[in-house]
Each structure stands twice: as structure tokens, then as C-alpha cells.
Amino acid sequence: MSVAVKVCGQVPGVEKWIKIPDVSSHCVQEVAKLAVEQFNVQHGHSLKYESIHEGWFCELGQNNLKYRLHIRAIDFLQRSLLYEALVFEEKPKLERIRKLISFLYILNCGHYVGPVDPPKVEKWIKIPDLRVPFVLEVSKFAIDWYNKSGEGLKYVEIYDGWYAEMGQDNIKFRLHVKAKDCLGRLRNYEAIVLVKHFLSKKIKIFESFKLLDQVKVVPGWNQIPDVKDLGLQVVIKFILEHIKIKFGDSLKFEIIYEGWYFELCPNSLKYRFHVKVIDFLGRSLKFEVVIIEERRDHVRIWKLDSIVLIVAPAPQEKKWIKIPNVQVPLVQELAKFAVDEHNNKSGEGLKYVEVYDGWFMDLGQDNIKFRLHLKAKDWLGRIRSYEAVVLVEHFWSKRIKILESFKFCGPVVVEPKWIQIPCLKEPGFQVVIKFILEQIKIKFGDSLKFEIIYEGWYFELCPNSLKYRFHVKVIDFLGRSLKFEVVIIEERRDHVRIWKLDSIVLIVSHEPQEKKWIKIPNVQVPLVQELAKFAVDEHNNKSGEGLKYVEVYDGWFMDLGQDNIKFRFHLKAKDWLGRVRSYEAVVLVEHFWSKRIKILESFKFCGGVVVEPKWIQIPNLKEPGFQVVIKFIVEQLKIIFGDCLKFDSIYEGWYFELCPISLKFRLHIKAIDFLGRCLNYEIIIVEEKRIFKLESIIVILSPGHCVGPVDPPKVEKWIKISNLQFSFVQEVSKFALDDFNVKSGDSLKYDGVYDGWYMEMGQDNIKFRIHLKAKDCLSRVHHYEAYVYVKQFLSKRIKIVESFKLIERKC
């Protein structure tokens, strides 16, 4: 039977109800009490009968009656409420059988029990009996609802409670309960639950649940009495999630076998759990997991502090144990690490394929050594087997991986043939490309720019040695796309790849159909500079001009095929007179990218020249191009003066441009005459197409137009002649003898000069005193002393014999 409610004034229309005149009669009282008792039995209520307010009866035949009574009863909250009870009574024989048909709340005009509107201020009324089932039900409901957050509280008892009427048949309960948490602590809590439609549906709504105790933080670790408590399941779930995040499938959770908690503050705890797991190697390991829990607005927030292996001692026997499953991610990770580390050291560019077998050795202290058999593909496309030994220190924490060895395992069959490389973009090929680039740089500098390796082959010389043949595309400094064949030999020594360049050869293209001059895109590249300098040097060797290369400012090339190229340059060079002039050079280069044989075909002056009609000083008389001029001067002095003048130096000079191909030079030189005097001369030379012609040699006189002193000396000062074999000394000696023969009629014959002196007389005049030998007509040799005065010594040389006398006669 369900409990319903009834609104005042509602009377059945069919049945005829007769008001009971005296509801205090014993019979009516019995019916009312029966109704309350049966209602309590049927619905678990604890209503207490108080009185009958009014009543009616309806006759249903001769022996049957129906009662409709308005009864007052007191509920467990001590509220006096009005109910309407329908009771059916029949008299089959002598006894009366009564049965409760319905028991209805009689609501007020707002269809509610209690006040219609919620109170402005909550008025809490103490619950008189906390053992009433509904109070217990509300208490447990509050704990169960709170446990949805994973608290795991266990209900112990309710020790106090209040209620407040909220209007519209709603009641709010405030209950003080005792409950035990997941850590075994018995604590006091306050729960507030709103019950809507209290007299019908009883909809319970959880409002709040809070701790009442003043929490005292107890420092130190406290053991958790039961790590399987329901309240710890959310913590265990959190641990499982973080083991999964941190270790993936490498660890399989088994059990939490003990744990402790540490109260950091009233709203924060630190947990320490000892966890058993099975690792991917099949070993049973123990970890210590530390978690920090904070409570914020009744929400538990966990943070992982640490997961640390409880290190086991080193095993007594260290042996290789087969890995049960080499496909687990950690084994794959170690195998890939071994391949990558080997690639970093050797530059091989192996590509990991699979690990097909493996063993481990437990070294203790969380250190493990792995021996893995794996397959990897090299950059030549060969899948080969290797053995890698990897030591992992602090495996479950830092996981420091050290590759101890990596070696090829399995027999190798060497095929004596060229095999095409399937993919030239493999990572292992990058070190070879790098080596090729370095060698091209060393051999050709910036003249070639690497573009691509478009095909390649390898030849297995032996298991540890390969020969590579690559076809390489490059762009040369002329902008041409060229193809080279590069041959490299690779050897492996102690897992180190050593390369050696065997050859770099141009793949010769055919002779072009049309031979034409093509502009050089950049004439500043070193090879163009080198060819321009070669042209200048070669021209200097042939002509002796002494040009100095300045720059090349334009250029063209003609591809003749078969690696032969002709170049035409416009360059600037400075001649020995300091003039920067433009020239055109044509250079043929045979076997350009191998032997590079350079041939100068032509070198000519180009560009207009503005002739300046004036003397221009020569900036540097030590230029190499000036040496041919010096050589010409020396030759001319020899021709004109013989041994009488010795060239010393040129101390200044000028040039005069007669026309673009002809120059006149005016040079001041120093020369040492046969008397040891340093004299200055002005020499004028005309040059036409590097052919020299002497125009004049003039001595540079002193301010008095003399060489030496202007006036004759007051005291004679004879200076010994250093070399009597000079031609002019001989000439003066012979002149004196001839003059004596003419004047005296003798026929003396000159026999040599053996001593001599000279004296500067001023005004470019010199007096000579010479001791000479002469034979008379009887062939007798006599010694003579001759004084000869020479006027205008450096020009006309007028000789006057002043005296000629016998010094000594020998029989």
C-alpha cells in the first residue's frame, strides 16, 4: 500500500458518508489506533497515535462498514500531523475483521505539511530520536554520496542531529556522524541533506559534508592499517596510471603490500607505498611510490612525488638469461639506441629492421647488461645481422645507456662485381657525400659547386673494404653543368670507416656544335684570376715589360669540347711607369679539369690612350720592367766609354709620351769613371715598341758648369790613378809618346804605362802625370814621365802635352 495525500473537502461522490456523532467512543478509538499501527508496520514509520479529529462511516451491506477517520499522530520529528485513514470492517460471524485501505496526509490549502514558504532564517530543531530508520538512512546517504569522490569513509554512528522545515513539504537535516577513513582514523563529520517532498517521494539532495574535528598534525610516518581499503582504490588507480605513463608496458602491477602516510598539514598528506611489479624481463621487482595529496574544496588532488626502485643486492651468479619477449618497447628502444649510437660513431647510416633474439645479465644495483641480436639495413640496401652489447646503468631511473660493442655477425659472401646503390639519399650516405665535397673543395676550391650525386655503384673488395663509383653533377665557375666520376675506397678498421680518394675524372662531353664566346658570369673567381695573372706573367717573360696585374674586369670563354676551353680576358695592368692600362689576353687551356695546360695565344693593348705632352716623373725606378732600360744604358756606356765609365745607379727619371707606342726617357744616372770619381749623367733614350735608341748622354755639371772644383787648386794635389789599364789612360800615354816623336823626330815605341796620377784643374780640366815605358830604335826600353793637360774632359777632351822627359835609361 502506498502512502498518498488528501486535500481537505474531497468526499467521494458515489458513497454516502454518515458523520460519526461521537468519535471518542471505544470502538472508533480502536479503529483509529489500528490504522496507525498497521501504517507503521507497513511503512516502517514510528507514528504515535494522538487523537481523532472527526470521522465518517459508510454502510456496504448488512455486515460491512467503511470508516473514514481524520486522525492526529506525532511523527519521529515530534510534529503533530493530520491524517485521513480508510478502514474496511466486516463481520463474517461474531468477530470483526478490520483492514487498512489507505492512510493519507491531509495537507493545508497550499497542499503542504508545515509552512508554505521557506523560512527567512533557518530554525534548527533537535531530532528527538536519532535511531529512527529514516535518520540512519539520511546519514548513510550523506556518507555514500561523499564517498563518490573516492574517500572510502565507513559509517560508525550518528551522535547528534537537527532538522529545519524549509517550506513546501521540504525538510533539511543537519547530522553529526562518526566515520572511519581509509587510514583507520575515527573522525567526526557534519552532513547537511535536503529532503524534498518529505511526506511522499522523499527526494534526498546532498548539500555538504565536512570534518568537524580540529585536526592535529602528527609528525612522522604512520602505517596504513589496510592498504586494500576502498578509500585507497582511487590512490591505487592513480599509481597504476602513473606506472603506465612512466614505464608503459614494461611493468605489470601486481600488488601494494604495505604503505604509510605522513600528515604534512590538515589538508595535505604524503603517502609512501611499497609496490610489487613484474617487469618485461619476468623479474619480480619492488618499487617505492611516494604521492602527495591535497584537498581543495573537498576535492582530492594527487601529485606523484617519486617512483623509485627498491634496489636488490647483486646476484651471486651473473649469467646471461634469455629475454622472454624481445618485441616489448624497451628492448626495441635499446636495439634502436645501439644502431643509432653505432651510426654516430661510424657514420654508417644503418637502418634498424628488427631484434630477433636477446639476453640480459642482472648486475645488481639496478644495472643490467643486454646482448641483442638484431637486423639492420645498410645504406647499400643490404640487410645484415649484428650483435650489440648495451650496458644500462640505473635502469629504472636515469637509464644511462652505454654501447659496449657493436659487431657484424654472420658469414659474408663477396660478389666480385659492380652493384648499383639502390638509394643515394640514405643517411649513411651523407658521410660519403661530405667526404666527396671535402675532396672537391681541396682539389678545385670554389671553382666547382656540388649539385647532386645521381647514380652510384659499389664493389666489394673484401668483407671490410668497398670501392665506390659515383657520378656527380656539379656547376663550374662558368655556370656549366658538368659530370664527374668519383672513385672512393672505403676500409673498416676497428669499426671506423676510413675513406681514400682514388680518382676524380671529368666525364668528357662531346664537342659543341656551335663554338661561340660566352660571357663569364663572375670574373672574380680564383681560376679566372689565376688565368689572367698567367697571361700577364707569360707576356712579361716574352717581352720583359714588367707589367703588374691589377684586375680582370670582363671575360668570355669558348667551350671547344674534350675538356678544352679558350678564354678571352679584358684586364688591367700597371706598367713600370705606373700607368694602369687595359689589355686583352687570349688563353687556351687544354685538359682544363686535369692537366690544365695553359697557352697564351695573344696579349695586346686595348683601349684609347690620351697622350699628355709633358715630362712625367717615373714613380719607381726599381720596377722589373725598367731592368731592360738599365741593361740598354749599360750597353751604351760600354760602347761609348769603354772601361772609362762604370754604371752605378739611376736616381731619378722622367718619361714623355710621343705617341701611344713611343716614349722618350730622360734619366739621371750615377757612374764611376776610371779615376774613381762618381759623376752624374743625363741620358735621353727613345723607345718604340720596346726598341731602344740612344739620343744623348750629357754630363750634369756643377753650378759653374764643371765637374769637380770650379777654380784651379792653389796647391797641386796629385791623386794616384787606381787602374792604369783603363783605355783612356792608355790613350793619353800613347798621345804623349806620339807627340814627343813628332816634335823630336824620335821613333819611340810604346811599351806600357806602369804608374800614374791625375790632378783636377777646375773647369772640367784634368792634368795627368804618367810614367811609361818606351823602346827606342835600338830596342832599348826607357822610362819616361809625361805631363798631359786635358781640357773639357767630359766632352771634347782636348789633350795638350806639357812635358815629356826621360826618367831613367837602361843599357
| pLDDT for res 633 | 84
pLDDT tens, 163-172?
888 877 788 9
* Cα–Cα distance for residue pair 725/674, rounded to 1 Å: 9
| pLDDT for res 217 | 65
Fold of 125-211: Nuclear Transport Factor 2; Chain: A, (3.10.450)
Fold of 4-107: Nuclear Transport Factor 2; Chain: A, (3.10.450)
| pLDDT for res 339 | 93
Residues 6+ apart with CB under 8 A from 406: 338, 339, 341, 342, 386, 387, 388, 389, 495
Alpha helices in 371-429 (DSSP H): none
Residues 6+ apart with CB under 8 A from 14: none
- H/E run at residue 243: helix 233-247
- The HSE-up count of residue 546 (CA atoms within 13 Å, CB side) is 16
| pLDDT for res 1 | 41
Residue 586, Cβ density class (10 Å: 0-12 exposed, 13-18 middle, ≥19 buried): middle
Q: Supply the CATH classification number for the domain 221-309.
A: 3.10.450.10
| pLDDT for res 62 | 75
Residue 726 vs residues 47, 91, 633, 722, 793: alpha-carbon distances, Å: 167, 189, 20, 9, 15
* CA 703 to chain centroid: 80
Q: Supply the CATH classification number for the domain 321-408.
A: 3.10.450.10
| pLDDT for res 610 | 57
Query: In this model, does residue 216 exceed pLDDT 70?
Result: no
Mean pLDDT, to the nearest integer, of 374-395? 88
Query: In this model, does residue 703 exceed pLDDT 70?
Result: no
| pLDDT for res 410 | 66
Strand order, beta sheet including 662-673: 615-617, 645-659, 662-673, 678-688, 691-699
Query: In this model, does residue 528 exceed pLDDT 50?
Result: yes
- Boundaries of every domain in the chain: 4-107, 125-211, 221-309, 321-408, 418-506, 518-605, 615-699, 719-809
Domain 518-605, CATH class in plain words = alpha beta
Mean pLDDT, to the nearest integer, of 680-698? 84
Query: In this model, does residue 266 exceed pLDDT 50?
Result: yes
* Cα–Cα distance for residue pair 30/52, rounded to 1 Å: 11
| pLDDT for res 705 | 43
Task: Please determine whether the domains at 615-699 and 719-809 fall in the same fold group of CATH.
Answer: yes
| SS (HEC) of 728-776 | HHHHHHHHHHHHHHHHHCCCCEEEEEEEEEEEEEECCEEEEEEEEEEEC
pLDDT tens, 117-147?
666 677 888 888 888 888 888 888 988 888 8
Q: What is the DSSP string of 663-679?
A: EEEEEEEEEEETTS-EE
The amino acid occupying position 599 is: I
Cβ atoms within 10 Å, residue 201: 10
Percent of the chain with pLDDT over 70: 91
Mean pLDDT, to the nearest integer, of 108-113? 48
Fold of 719-809: Nuclear Transport Factor 2; Chain: A, (3.10.450)
427 against 253, higher pLDDT: 253
- CA quadruple 369, 375, 377, 382: dihedral, nearest 10: 130
Residue 469 vs residues 241, 492, 537: alpha-carbon distances, Å: 55, 18, 39
* Cα–Cα distance for residue pair 56/277, rounded to 1 Å: 77
Mean pLDDT, to the nearest integer, of 424-443? 83
Cell of 264: 604534512
* Cα–Cα distance for residue pair 392/366, rounded to 1 Å: 9
- Residue 657: helix, strand or coil by DSSP? strand
Q: Please state which of the four CATH numbers 3.40.50.300, 3.10.450.10, 3.40.50.1100, 1.20.120.350 is assigned to the domain occupying 615-699.
A: 3.10.450.10
Residue 662 vs residues 235, 422, 542, 627: alpha-carbon distances, Å: 108, 70, 19, 18
- Residue 550: helix, strand or coil by DSSP? strand
Alpha helices in 769-809 (DSSP H): none
| pLDDT for res 697 | 84
Mean pLDDT, to the nearest integer, of 730-742? 91
> Contact at 8 Å (CB) between 756 and 729?
yes
Query: In this model, does residue 576 exceed pLDDT 80?
Result: no
Query: In this model, does residue 731 exceed pLDDT 70?
Result: yes
Cell of 341: 649510437
pLDDT band at 809 (very low <50, low <70, confident <90, very high): low
**Mean pLDDT for the chain overall:** 83
Cell of 18: 454518515
β-strand partners of 528: none
| pLDDT for res 616 | 81
| pLDDT for res 341 | 92
pLDDT tens, 169-199?
788 999 999 988 777 778 888 999 998 887 6
pLDDT tens, 52-91?
989 998 988 777 889 899 999 887 777 878 888 999 888 8
215 against 693, higher pLDDT: 693
pLDDT tens, 642-682?
777 788 888 888 888 887 778 888 889 888 877 778 888 88
| pLDDT for res 707 | 52
Query: In this model, does residue 398 exceed pLDDT 70?
Result: yes
* Cα–Cα distance for residue pair 221/780, rounded to 1 Å: 146
First CA to last CA across the chain, in angstroms? 192
- Residue 157: helix, strand or coil by DSSP? strand
Cell of 427: 643517411
> Contact at 8 Å (CB) between 462 and 473?
no
> Contact at 8 Å (CB) between 650 and 669?
yes
pLDDT band at 347 (very low <50, low <70, confident <90, very high): confident
250 against 217, higher pLDDT: 250
* Cα–Cα distance for residue pair 61/53, rounded to 1 Å: 26
Mean pLDDT, to the nearest integer, of 216-237? 77
| pLDDT for res 117 | 63
* Cα–Cα distance for residue pair 508/590, rounded to 1 Å: 13
Residue 403 vs residues 341, 347, 389, 391, 400: alpha-carbon distances, Å: 7, 15, 6, 6, 10
The CATH number of domain 418-506 is 3.10.450.10: yes
- Residue 121: helix, strand or coil by DSSP? coil
Minimal CA–CA distance to 735: which of 772, 778, 707? 772
| pLDDT for res 109 | 47
Cell of 215: 585536526
Mean pLDDT, to the nearest integer, of 418-430? 80
> Contact at 8 Å (CB) between 261 and 339?
no
pLDDT band at 107 (very low <50, low <70, confident <90, very high): low
| pLDDT for res 487 | 93
